[in-house]
Amino acid sequence: MFNWYKDSSVPETRTFWACYMGWSLDAMDFMLLAYVLPALIGVWHISKFQGGLLQSATLLAGAFGGWGAGALSDRYGRVKTLQIMVAWFSVTTVLCAFAQNYPQLIVLKTLQGFGFGGEWATGAVLMAEIIRPQNRGRALGWIQSGWAVGWGTALVLSTIVFTYLPHDIAWRALFAVGILPAFLIIYVRRNLVEPPRAPMSPAVVKQSAFADLFAIFKPEVLRSTLVGGLFGVGAHGGYAALTTFLPTYLRNEHHLTIMKSGAYMAVIILAFFFGCIVSGTISDWLGRRLNAAIFAIACIITVLLYTFASPTNNEMLILGFPLGFFAAGIPASMAALFSEMYPVGIRGTGTGFCYNFGRVVAAGFPALVGFTAKSQGLGAAIGIDTALAYALVLVAVLLLPESRQKVLIQEPAAANA
């Protein structure tokens, strides 16, 4: 599981740490809202709907940011675009600390979302092209686990800040911490190499960079785009259907007060971390398709047991680990899978679109759970709709070719020690 890192070249390890730190800090900045939201609701007297809209705006903007940043990275390079995206979400997060009212904050959170989506798309493709093919799944699985690190960091910081500062100041202090990712730019500029690319023709150079956005819908790659988008919908939809109402289900229907403690959050975060790493390892070992199928089937079985088998509260707490573990494994497989579906000229665009298209459509799954709950009950609704989403992943897997160890560039930067 760890030998791939020991055998990696200097360009590979430097790129790994840049992408890992970028995704971790990106996750920290994004997750801060979850911890400042109660304070915002109290200080500004906004509704829960308005609070949720802040995160929805960030996610929606992130979808377009990922697609657009992917196109920019295809045109101007991965490393340069990564620097821009890190600077973007760092600055916009800090600016959130100075918002004077709700309208200002939702505008700033929307702007933050463009950088949030763009950083993942650019970093994922950069790592996929730099790392040697036989280690691609593991490296990208580890990078996806950085989300758990950022999530945990946000939890620790919020606990400390809200313990020692009044709420009307604490939320601003937390957003101000968002400047930390900006220091990553120094590391990126000094240590990363751009993967080799074929020179563009004069006709292509004259085009707008965003003219490349729709190149992924050309006949020769349309199948990849449609199936990749379906995979993204299933992966994000399953996670959204499962996690949105799970705390409400456990608290209201099972009276599991432990849900309110940091200990339960630690279990979920730890499960996510290990799920990403194991998924990446299996992806390189057994292939992209079989790995995704294993985790999707395991997710369906686990969530149905969780919601239909009437386990005790202690059993549900124990089942929470495999539930988070298997749910994490599917998104951990997407960076390698999507990167291998497209040629170099539109790889960033295609990867950014498939991942973030799924995120946009998945926004409807929590509403679907709420609608289904009216007739089936909340537990059954979570189980049915989550299983439905992960079934879409299985359908996509059947339609995709196996791409494990595919060579993405002719002269891999990984060869330069």
Could you report the per-residue pLDDT of 344-372, keeping only the tens digit for each? 889 999 999 998 888 888 777 877 887 88
Query: pLDDT at residue 178 above 50?
Result: yes
Q: With respect to residue 411, please indicate whether it lies within any of the assigned structural domains.
A: no
Query: pLDDT at residue 145 above 80?
Result: yes
Q: Are 181 and 242 found together in one domain? A: no
Q: Are 147 and 4 found together in one domain? A: yes
Q: Are 296 and 378 found together in one domain? A: yes
Judged on CB neighbours under 10 Å (0-12, 13-18, 19+), 19 is buried
Query: pLDDT at residue 125 above 80?
Result: yes
Q: With respect to residue 75, please indicate whether it lies within any of the assigned structural domains.
A: yes
State both tokens at 415. 């060869």
Q: Give the per-residue pLDDT at 137.
A: 92
End-to-end Cα spacing for the chain? 21
Q: With respect to residue 280, please indicate whether it lies within any of the assigned structural domains.
A: yes
Q: Are 259 and 356 found together in one domain? A: yes
Q: How far is Cα 245 from Cα 51, in angstroms, rounded to an integer?
A: 16
Domain count of the fold of the chain: 2
Q: By residue range, what is the domain housing residue 97?
A: 1-186
Q: Are 144 and 252 found together in one domain? A: no
Q: Are 7 and 152 found together in one domain? A: yes
Q: With respect to residue 395, please indicate whether it lies within any of the assigned structural domains.
A: yes
Q: How far is Cα 246 from Cα 382, in angstroms, rounded to an integer?
A: 8
In this structure, are residues 215 and 206 in contact, taking their beta carbons and an 8 Å threshold? no
Q: Which of 168, 186, 204 is the last residue of a domain?
A: 186
54-109 per-position pLDDT tens digit: 877 887 888 888 889 998 998 888 999 999 998 898 899 999 999 999 999 999 99
Q: Are 325 and 392 found together in one domain? A: yes
Q: Are 260 and 346 found together in one domain? A: yes
- Averaged pLDDT, 310-335: 83
Q: Tell me the percentage of the chain whose pLDDT exceeds 70.
A: 88
State both tokens at 210. 């965003």
Q: Which CATH number characterizes residue 16's domain?
A: 1.20.1250.20
H or E stretch covering 210: none
Nearest to 402 by CA among 283, 276, 282: 283
Q: Which of 141, 170, 186 is the last residue of a domain?
A: 186
How many angstroms from the chain centroid is the CA of residue 80? 21
pTM assigned to the model: 0.82
Query: Which pLDDT band holds residue 14 (cuts at 50, 70, 90)?
Result: very high
Amino acid at 144: Q
Q: With respect to residue 66, please indicate whether it lies within any of the assigned structural domains.
A: yes
Query: Which pLDDT band holds residue 248 (cuts at 50, 70, 90)?
Result: low
Q: With respect to residue 210, please indicate whether it lies within any of the assigned structural domains.
A: no
Q: Which of 137, 165, 186 is the last residue of a domain?
A: 186
Strand, coil or helix: 55: helix
Q: With respect to residue 415, please indicate whether it lies within any of the assigned structural domains.
A: no
Angle between helices 184-191 and 10-44 (to 10 degrees): 160
Q: Are 234 and 378 found together in one domain? A: yes
Q: Are 173 and 255 found together in one domain? A: no
Where do we find the tokens 């991965």?
Answer: 78
31-60 per-position pLDDT tens digit: 788 778 888 888 898 886 787 788 778 878
Q: Are 143 and 252 found together in one domain? A: no
Q: With respect to residue 192, please indicate whether it lies within any of the assigned structural domains.
A: no
Amino acid at 314: N
Q: Are 13 and 146 found together in one domain? A: yes
